[in-house]
Structure 1
């Protein structure tokens, strides 16, 4: 394998690592907080609404948008590290 291919392979491995971590966080928030742990979270109220309901309706969307910005930042750093930035 050439040096260029090793470089590209390392880049994509790191990219996939970021994707797995960020999607796991989103899954944990979306399904974990919104569905699996909703009964425990419903004991806590935010603005008069149960926390489990809030995560199912709003929280998972907010977390997803935040994760998009985190992914962009991580990828910009990764691009600079591997010399793929513009």
Structure 2
């Protein structure tokens, strides 16, 4: 990893990293708060005998969070490689 990046490269790297962070935060907020706020409405939809609200509260959000962790790490690694600051 290079110790010092030129300011314009560092700013471009931070801009992409910041955008990735905001997208991840938005996904997290949707599946942490908004889905759970509408559980009673979602319970009207039944999938495989379970109300959708129950499924999203019990399992769906957790599955999305695990997938999001791996996606975030993969995407951040791509950004780091693009700017030459990836770890070995």
Greater than 6 Å deviation, 4+ residue runs: none
2:61 maps to 60
SS at match of 1:40: helix
Structure having the larger proportion of residues in helix: 1
Runs of 5+ consecutive residues of structure 2 not aligned to the other structure: none
Q: Secondary structure at the match of 2:6?
A: helix
Higher relative contact order (CA 8 A, sep 6+): 2
How many equivalent pairs are there?
A: 83
Scaled by the length of structure 1, the TM-score of the pair is 0.82
Tell me the distance in 2 between the aligned counterparts of 1:43 and 1:54. 12
Give the alignment's Cα RMSD to 1 decimal: 1.6
Report the TM-score when normalising by structure 2. 0.81
8 A Cα contact 1:30 1:55, kept in partner: no
| Matched ranges for 1:44-83 at <5 A | 44-83=45-84
Confirm or deny: 8 A CA contact 1:34 1:53 kept in the other structure. Answer: no
